[in-house]
Structure 1
């Protein structure tokens, strides 16, 4: 298995964990007890803290990726062969 495959696996894990971490730590105006302006969604977060979530997600995805690589190399769980088209 080459490093491009390793990077592709990390990228897929990153996106899955990103969508799991994205809704965490969101506070809406309703939860804060403040009023929303007319035309604004009351369920929208006050601050999204996206860069904080990207950093946390990158670390979580790295840990998950390391566990996946350990299973593949230590326990000999290979990826399925995909024939060339």
Structure 2
């Protein structure tokens, strides 16, 4: 696995995990018992707490990436092991 490929895979995993983490624990201003700021949407989060979510995203994405890296590098699952992939004969 090249460095560029690893960075691309990690970047994709990080963004997917971030989008899964964003709605966790979010409350609107009305739910928090505060008045809404003028011009903001009713559904806007009161305090999104982005820094803890980014730290948690980095940790979770690193664990997932480590698992995927181990599977790819140690060839735990090869393309021939996936049943719905077509089988081709080797050309010599």
Q: TM-score, normalised by structure 2?
A: 0.71
Name the residue aligned to 2:12: 12
**Inter-partner Cα distance in structure 1 for 2:76 and 2:28:** 45
Name the residue aligned to 1:26: 26
Q: How many residues align?
A: 78
Name the residue aligned to 1:36: 36
**Superposition CA RMSD, Å:** 1.8
Provide the secondary structure at the position in 1 that maps to 2:67.
Answer: helix
Decide which structure has the larger Cα Rg and report it.
2
For structure 1, the residue ranges without an aligned partner over 5 or more in a row are 79-85
Q: CA deviation at 1:37?
A: 4.3
For structure 2, the residue ranges without an aligned partner over 5 or more in a row are 80-92
Q: CA deviation at 1:74?
A: 4.6
